[in-house]
Chain A
């Protein structure tokens, strides 16, 4: 039942967007309203899991399955889906896109949301792949809502790089299946994650290592882990803001989810630091590239993409540091989901007012758009890791985890890079916030106050996470850590 409540609303919303020939804003509003149903269902699942139902399955089978890890990512996906649908183009009166573009947007964004949910709800590792691949196609269709050279370039690079990457993930999936089949013979459940984990100790380490490398490159491309990150700044820069927010938070979480499922299988087999070392190496590389690109960025949307690569790096480092690190990584992922969904939606107004994405063109935000400027300041402080926001706590936990397993050198380097990122973030955005706004720029906010109200939700979440960890979330995270550590 819960599965239907999760999947039917986005599919229904996609269907009506498809059937109503000329886009009407009632269609978009219906979709946004419907998106509260999956959010409720996701919270229900999380509630059940926290209450001790470790694994939920539906319809007497185990094709659909949810545990704490599922519940956590499902909340991210459904919550960001609601937020981005409420603030997506075509719901209000004024819009910069034509009816055909809006119709396309609402069809594909809902399909993308549905496939992200399928990816986390299924127990079958090949269906996870099919669903993740589908998100690539659906999101690529709506990156160029207006055809410009830049948006076409971004979407082509995205769809090509992601398609290649994701087919490598499929190669890895096939290799994992192959190992299982050579051991146990072909059976119906051979691609089920639960059976793979159960059989993992007797699989062949050499094959599993090879499979995991393919999977890491593949799903790592979707997550934008360096050196497979090249598409990220292009796509985040050129997408409509609501899509950018969905990709930077929900899609990132789904890609990491897929990686984690396979990490559990590989670790259960290898009993070594093989996957951890890979996560640490690629995580550090992402952090390094993210930070140094960030301080040199000239376009604020691309800057946010580099910040995303930086934080993805931190998450990967955490995942490679044992149980404490995994906890820090999950907390960091939670913070990042809240912050990135919010900040991409926020810069939309700046982009429209100043008609430019260049940092040098935007001056005097405090004079021209005071409310936006305040919210942006808060977001930047959070992303830079200042208290009282969640990132401060998750970064401290990350360092504690790193020192606990005696990675002193690595953690020292991470600290130095974070300091550079901090200075870079502040100096880059200071240029935009202060100074005199050009006279040609009208004063006042771009949207009515109702538009900013939904943004307060992720902002509040980020602040609460910085002050204390709510008990249910803490339980959910700890359960998830136990799943990932396979205890």
Chain B
């Protein structure tokens, strides 16, 4: 009974997390991107707490707290500041337009269900229902990075992709060991700071953060 409840709640949580990921695809303002990412991360930390509560696992509370601090408080704030400093360029014309993006994201979700069938059949955890949704989120993140042309929206795509992996690890295994999780958090933070430095560099040298301009290297 209790496991049924956990199963329902995590599926619900995973769906919400995926929806915030897909929400990126029809938004054009950078603020909307960051808000969607912030909401997604909040829901994801709630799912961490949820699993921690049902499984009585203290480590997951720690992870949820760190996750919340990093991805709901710190990174979105940096993103907003970055957005203001580089002069507020929005995602006006992605390589793939909004309507096609949504259709493709639907296909990606189907594809995720297809490739995760062996995973779901192997797992006997109550949370396995959400596994395809996590893989779908990874694919959607990948799609955002590949088709958006502003440096900032690409970063958000990468962050969403990382959220997908965090969700996958949680649903598949109730979280990877804390030591590893700490290493991953440090990597994500340093990686984000490095990306941020490069956005300033791009803005400084190209006077725009449109990666379409990055076409000097050929041959």
Q: With contacts A144-B201, A302-B219 known, is A133 near B187, CB below 8 A?
A: yes
A411 to B29: give the CA distance in the assembly, Å: 53
Is B88 part of the contact surface with A, judged by Cβ < 8 Å?
Answer: no
**Residues A210 and B119 in contact, CB atoms below 8 Å apart:** yes
Q: Are A298 and B219 in touch, CB under 8 angstroms?
A: yes
> A22 at the A/B interface (Cβ < 8 Å)?
no
Any A CB within 8 A of the CB of B96: no
Interface size of B by CB at 8 A reads: 45
> Min CB distance, B214 to chain A, in Å?
4
Residues in B whose Cβ lies below 8 Å from that of A181: 172-173
Distance to closest chain A CB from B190 (angstroms): 5
In whole Å, how far is B169's beta carbon from the nearest beta carbon of chain A? Answer: 5
Of residues 190 through 205 on chain A, the ones whose CB sits less than 8 Å from some CB of chain B are 190-191, 204
Bound-state Cα–Cα, A163 to B116, Å: 23
Q: In the complex, what residues of B have CB within 8 A of residue A297's CB?
A: 219
Q: Which residues of B contact A126 (CB under 8 A)?
A: 176-177, 180, 183-184
How far is A144 from B211 in the complex, measured between Cα atoms in Å?
A: 17
Do A149 and B180 touch across chains, with their CB atoms under 8 A apart?
Answer: no
> 0/1 per residue, A138-172, Cβ < 8 Å to B?
00110010011110111111011001100110110
Interchain CB contact under 8 A, A174 and B168: yes
Once A153-B216, A153-B217, A204-B118 are accepted as A-B contacts, the answer to whether A137 and B187 lie under 8 Å apart by CB is yes
Docked complex Cα distance between A167 and B186 (Å): 14
B184–A159 CB distance below 8 A: no
User: Do A164 and B118 contact each other (CB < 8 Å), given the known contacts A130-B183, A302-B219?
Assistant: no
Shortest Cβ distance from B201 into chain A, in angstroms? 5
A299 at the interface (CB under 8 A from B): yes
Complex Cα distance, B211 from A170, in Å, reads: 26
Chain A residues within an 8 Å CB radius of B154: 160
B70 adjacent to chain A (CB < 8 Å):
no
Specify which of B123, B124, B177 is in contact with A191 (CB 8 Å cutoff). B177
Partner of B123, one of A147, A177, A182: A182
List B196-219 residues whose CB lies under 8 Å from chain A. 197-198, 201-202, 204-206, 211, 214-217, 219
Contact B168 A207 (CB under 8 A): no
A237 within 8 A of B: yes
Query: 8 Å CB contacts to B: which residues of A294-312?
Result: 296-299, 302
Query: Which of B162, B176, B191 touches A137 (beta carbons < 8 Å)?
Result: B191
Instruction: Provide the residues of chain B in CB contact with A84, threshold 8 Å.
Output: none
A395 contacts the other chain (CB 8 A): no
Chain B residues within an 8 Å CB radius of A159: 191, 194-195, 198
Any B CB within 8 A of the CB of A188: yes
B202, A152: Cβ atoms closer than 8 Å: yes
Residues of B contacting A137 in the complex (Cβ-Cβ under 8 angstroms):
187, 190-191, 194
A178 touches B173 (CB 8 A): yes
Q: Are A179 and B205 in contact (CB under 8 A)?
A: no
Q: A167 and B176: CB pair below 8 A?
A: no
- CB of A147 within 8 A of CB of B118, answer no
Q: Tell me if A15 counts as interface (CB < 8 A to partner B).
A: no
Interface flags for A270-300 (1: CB within 8 Å of B; 0: not) read: 0000000000000000000000000011110
A16 at the interface (CB under 8 A from B): no
Distance to closest chain B CB from A122 (angstroms): 10
Is A127 in contact with chain B by the CB < 8 A criterion? yes
A298 to B165 CA separation, bound complex (whole angstroms): 40
For residue B168, which residues in chain A have a CB less than 8 angstroms away from its CB?
A: 171, 174-175
B165 in contact with A170 (CB, 8 Å) = yes
A439 within 8 A of B: no
B195: chain A residues at CB < 8 Å are 159-160, 163
Instruction: Assess whether A445 is interfacial by the CB under 8 Å rule.
Output: no
B161 contacts A by Cβ under 8 Å: yes
Residue of B173, B197, B206 most packed against chain A (CB within 10 A):
B173
Q: How many angstroms from the CA of A191 to the CA of B201 in the assembled complex?
A: 38
**Contact A191–B176 (Cβ < 8 Å):** yes
Contacts of B180 in A (CB 8 A): 124, 126-127, 130, 191
- The answer on a CB contact under 8 Å between A147 and B201 is yes
Having A126-B177, A130-B183, A159-B194, one finds 16 other A-B pairs with CB under 8 Å, namely A130-B184, A133-B191, A144-B201, A156-B151, A160-B154, A160-B195, A164-B145, A164-B158, A167-B165, A170-B165, A182-B122, A182-B124, A191-B176, A206-B122, A207-B122, A238-B217
Can you list 25 A-B pairs, Cβ within 8 angstroms, ordered by A? A124-B180, A126-B180, A126-B184, A137-B187, A140-B198, A150-B216, A152-B198, A154-B217, A156-B211, A159-B194, A163-B158, A167-B162, A174-B165, A174-B172, A175-B119, A175-B168, A177-B169, A178-B172, A186-B174, A206-B118, A207-B119, A207-B122, A210-B115, A233-B217, A238-B217
The 6 closest A-B pairs by CB, nearest first: A206-B118, A178-B172, A130-B183, A126-B180, A153-B214, A298-B219
